[in-house]
A and B are shown apart, each in its own frame.
Chain A
């Protein structure tokens, strides 16, 4: 298969998205390391509860909304242009979406830095901050809707011109993510527009927290899969080729993407197991649906494992596990895939405990949860974002890296940092250390033994910080590298598909099934707020004190 150059005037657009994504990322990791220091009880400069929670809000807003959204958008534009080999349907709309997000980021971050929106990125009504924070986030979401439209548009145009042909797997995954994001944002958009913004404008005196939390849970789980899908697309369409082999099965990829869309959405109530506003019935249903998320994950581990095993054996690996050692681990994409898989394994294991109705009570609202999502997000997702950036950036600017050594060092630093940060954090969670707490009184003998664990965790945070900053440095030095080939090649399947069932080449069936599942999973839980008497909470302003 021939490679595709990243042209069609999309390269500047993609670089703009990636550039802002990683610039804000650099800020957020510095805040993260400082937060770990505050919690360790070492009292760094500027320690105060207000500063801590403002920092947590900024860190979460960047890492939750700004960085991944921009990264996924840039990634999507890159994949659309290179896998379909045609320009975007409308580049101007893409730029409008980008600038809306820029305006939103400035609008949202200003009140956070001024201490007027210290509500954490999950909002926590009845806490209510400056209206500009919420409006800024609405702009970020609306900007990303332009991307959704362009991705769907690009795929349907291509299908019109190539009737009967299978959509390239990378693009298929990409459009899966666009639909996933469209469904995902509906929950948080409803919460912001109908609850948070009217409250922050003073139009209402109270807020229905139960409804707000349910709407947020609608978004809170699939948003993670929105972050995760580029990593999965890279597993299927980049890692096998980087290792020098082929993808074991194209169909497994399609199936996994569809199942990820299907079973990431009707499951968010596993975040509300200990909440009183729902009965046990629908919590249990959503727990059952959550468990199905393991299916696409295991399919992926099997398929990528098989792809890699073929490469390893061709390279002379023998025995049950000998092929693993024979893989070309010096290549960043291969190394990142390996690290990401290992971290996904640990993170996934922790996740099955979170989603189990019974065991959840043991770790609810403890550091375990924070550890889990940092392990998944930082470990599995961001590690692959690095690898994708190392793959795409040279093609965007036409330069090769000077050396692969700092790139490997960077990936290792990050992975080690994640382990050193999150493993003690899990332990602390089992000991009952609460999350969302700025400082602890380690003089209290009952919790004094937490401090050494927290300090280890903090050291992990600084290792991650070093890894994150080295990543930015690696990108900067790229501009001094020798000229590079700008062709993008995706992995070819062992048996390239000639024709696939329409269920695996489009999203009509997937969307209908999803509509059914969402009605089953959320129809009653959301509907009940409109006919069962509930007790709205008085709004608590965080932006009016002082």
Chain B
């Protein structure tokens, strides 16, 4: 390799032909692929050759996809809840004012749920202090639309606007909750296992995965810790019988109808909780 190299020259003919042929090959391959992808394959099942429609379909431009309508769509059952977690809903919640909500809470909710969210009769009226904003919002909207039945709550919710509902949800979410932990020493191990891990054999997921402190489930799943056990037990029974039915995808109805009355009672005790310092 010690032999001297010829001096460098201008771009040679070899260089130019490399550039040319590399570009032609790459370009031709791309072009053929694009013709196949955008015209030939999308129009394969068509009776009439129509390149424009084929390209639109291949690009996924709306209106050109020939998807037959879902025959079940027309007869689908009415929604179980009219709340949708759209960007608008979230914007409404993030713009909510706890200060405005406090006034409504005082005038309207306080009589039963307590002005600070600590219920006057927790067995009947749930505690709202520290409850998640999304949960309060969803339940009020469901009472409003009748998707959740209550003779007391329906007229009250109906009198509120969407903004007022989000304000009041924001207010109660900021109220301090009682310092509690789950009553794991008060129930059988299988009950706390059900709450924390679930029962795969019955396809019951853990309650905590949606209702626990570090929950990752549906946005509007309420926090359970600190509600009174009679109230929780009644809700489980109502879901089990279908009396209460404002759960998306029948999630709670599917779970609750598999629980035994004993499990319902003990789970309610577990989530009523006990002082955290205990």
- By a beta-carbon cutoff of 8 Å, the part of chain A in contact with chain B is 1, 50, 163-165, 205-206, 262, 278-285, 288-289, 292, 441, 443-444, 496, 498-499, 501-504, 509, 513, 516-517, 520, 524, 528, 532, 536, 538, 540, 542, 545-546
Q: Given A279-B60, A516-B27, A532-B62, are A284 and B33 neighbors across the interface (CB < 8 Å)?
A: yes
Return B246 CB to nearest CB of chain A, in Å: 20
Return A163 CB to nearest CB of chain B, in Å: 4
Complex CA distance for A206 and B87, rounded to whole angstroms: 7
Q: Is B26 an interface residue (CB 8 A)?
A: yes
Q: Are A165 and B58 in contact (CB under 8 A)?
A: no
Residue of A nearest to B25 (CB): A513
Q: Given A262-B26, A503-B22, are A546 and B213 neighbors across the interface (CB < 8 Å)?
A: yes
Chain B contacts of A441 at CB under 8 A? 200-201
Contact string, B31-68, partner A, CB cutoff 8 A, digits 1/0? 00110111001100000000000010111111000000
Chain A contacts of B26 at CB under 8 A? 262, 513, 516-517
Chain A contacts of B6 at CB under 8 A? 164, 499
Q: Are A545 and B216 in contact (CB under 8 A)?
A: yes
Chain A contacts of B19 at CB under 8 A? 503, 509
Q: Are A288 and B29 in contact (CB under 8 A)?
A: yes
Q: Is B277 an interface residue (CB 8 A)?
A: no
Return B104 CB to nearest CB of chain A, in Å: 24
Complex CA distance for A516 and B24, rounded to whole angstroms: 12
Return B97 CB to nearest CB of chain A, in Å: 17
Residue of B nearest to A1 (CB): B1
Q: List 20 A-B contacts (CB under 8 A).
A: A164-B8, A279-B57, A279-B58, A279-B59, A279-B61, A281-B34, A281-B42, A282-B37, A283-B37, A285-B33, A288-B37, A289-B30, A443-B200, A498-B5, A509-B18, A509-B19, A516-B26, A517-B30, A538-B219, A546-B213
Complex CA distance for A124 and B99, rounded to whole angstroms: 36
Chain B contacts of A284 at CB under 8 A? 33, 36-37, 41, 58
Q: Are B1 and A513 in contact (CB under 8 A)?
A: no
Q: Is B75 an interface residue (CB 8 A)?
A: no
Return A56 CB to nearest CB of chain B, in Å: 15
Q: Is B14 an interface residue (CB 8 A)?
A: yes
Q: Are B5 and A499 in contact (CB under 8 A)?
A: yes
Q: Are B213 and A545 in contact (CB under 8 A)?
A: yes
Q: Is B11 an interface residue (CB 8 A)?
A: yes
Contact of A538 among B15, B29, B58, B90 (CB under 8 A): B90
Complex CA distance for A284 and B40, rounded to whole angstroms: 12
Q: Are A520 and B87 in contact (CB under 8 A)?
A: no
Residue of B nearest to A499 (CB): B5
Residue of B nearest to A496 (CB): B1
Contact of B216 among A504, A524, A528, A542 (CB under 8 A): A542
Contact of B8 among A163, A205, A285, A289 (CB under 8 A): A163
Q: Are B200 and A503 in contact (CB under 8 A)?
A: no
Q: Is B23 an interface residue (CB 8 A)?
A: yes
Residue of A nearest to B64 (CB): A279
- The interface centre, meaning the residue of B9, B57, B59 with most chain A CB atoms within 10 A of its CB, is B59
Return A282 CB to nearest CB of chain B, in Å: 7
Q: Are B15 and A288 in contact (CB under 8 A)?
A: no
Return A433 CB to nearest CB of chain B, in Å: 16
Count chain B residues whose beta carbon lies closer than 8 angstroms to a beta carbon of A.
Answer: 44
Residue of A nearest to B85 (CB): A538
Chain A contacts of B8 at CB under 8 A? 163-164
Beyond contacts A284-B58, A499-B5: 17 other A-B pairs, Cβ-Cβ < 8 A, are A164-B6, A164-B9, A205-B90, A279-B60, A281-B38, A285-B37, A288-B37, A289-B30, A443-B200, A444-B200, A503-B19, A509-B22, A513-B26, A532-B61, A538-B87, A538-B219, A546-B213
Contact of B59 among A163, A281, A289, A545 (CB under 8 A): A281
- By a beta-carbon cutoff of 8 Å, the part of chain B in contact with chain A is 1, 5-9, 11-12, 14-15, 18-19, 22-23, 26-27, 29-30, 33-34, 36-38, 41-42, 55, 57-62, 85, 87, 90-91, 94, 200-201, 213-216, 219
Q: Are B33 and A545 in contact (CB under 8 A)?
A: no
Complex CA distance for A22 and B19, rounded to whole angstroms: 41
Q: Are A513 and B23 in contact (CB under 8 A)?
A: yes
Complex CA distance for A5 and B29, rounded to whole angstroms: 45
Chain A contacts of B55 at CB under 8 A? 281
Q: Which 7 A-B pairs have the closest CB atoms?
A: A279-B60, A281-B58, A545-B214, A164-B8, A284-B37, A441-B200, A546-B214
Chain B contacts of A1 at CB under 8 A? 1
Q: Are A164 and B5 in contact (CB under 8 A)?
A: yes
Q: Are B30 and A280 in contact (CB under 8 A)?
A: no
Complex CA distance for A538 and B88, rounded to whole angstroms: 10
Q: Are B18 and A520 in contact (CB under 8 A)?
A: no
Return B192 CB to nearest CB of chain A, in Å: 15
Q: Are A205 and B37 in contact (CB under 8 A)?
A: no
Return A256 CB to nearest CB of chain B, in Å: 14
Contact of A503 among B15, B27, B29, B33 (CB under 8 A): B15
Chain B contacts of A502 at CB under 8 A? 11, 15, 18
Residue of A nearest to B14 (CB): A501
Complex CA distance for A502 and B11, rounded to whole angstroms: 8
Chain A contacts of B94 at CB under 8 A? 205
Return A117 CB to nearest CB of chain B, in Å: 14
Complex CA distance for A435 and B54, rounded to whole angstroms: 35
Chain A contacts of B85 at CB under 8 A? 538
Return B261 CB to nearest CB of chain A, in Å: 25
Chain A contacts of B216 at CB under 8 A? 540, 542, 545
Return A172 CB to nearest CB of chain B, in Å: 15
Return B41 CB to nearest CB of chain A, in Å: 7
Return B38 CB to nearest CB of chain A, in Å: 5
Complex CA distance for A205 and B34, rounded to whole angstroms: 37
Complex CA distance for A284 and B34, rounded to whole angstroms: 8
Return B12 CB to nearest CB of chain A, in Å: 8
Chain A contacts of B7 at CB under 8 A? 164
Complex CA distance for A466 and B212, rounded to whole angstroms: 40
Complex CA distance for A545 and B213, rounded to whole angstroms: 7
Chain A contacts of B30 at CB under 8 A? 285, 289, 516-517, 520
Chain B contacts of A163 at CB under 8 A? 8
- The interface centre, meaning the residue of B5, B15, B33, B214 with most chain A CB atoms within 10 A of its CB, is B33
Complex CA distance for A437 and B200, rounded to whole angstroms: 14
Residue of A nearest to B33 (CB): A288
Chain B contacts of A283 at CB under 8 A? 37
Chain B contacts of A504 at CB under 8 A? 18
Residue of B nearest to A283 (CB): B37
Chain B contacts of A444 at CB under 8 A? 200-201
Q: Are B200 and A285 in contact (CB under 8 A)?
A: no
Chain A contacts of B59 at CB under 8 A? 279, 281-282, 524, 528
Complex CA distance for A281 and B64, rounded to whole angstroms: 13
Chain B contacts of A206 at CB under 8 A? 87, 90
Residue of A nearest to B201 (CB): A443
Q: Given A441-B201, A513-B23, are A165 and B5 neighbors across the interface (CB < 8 Å)?
A: yes
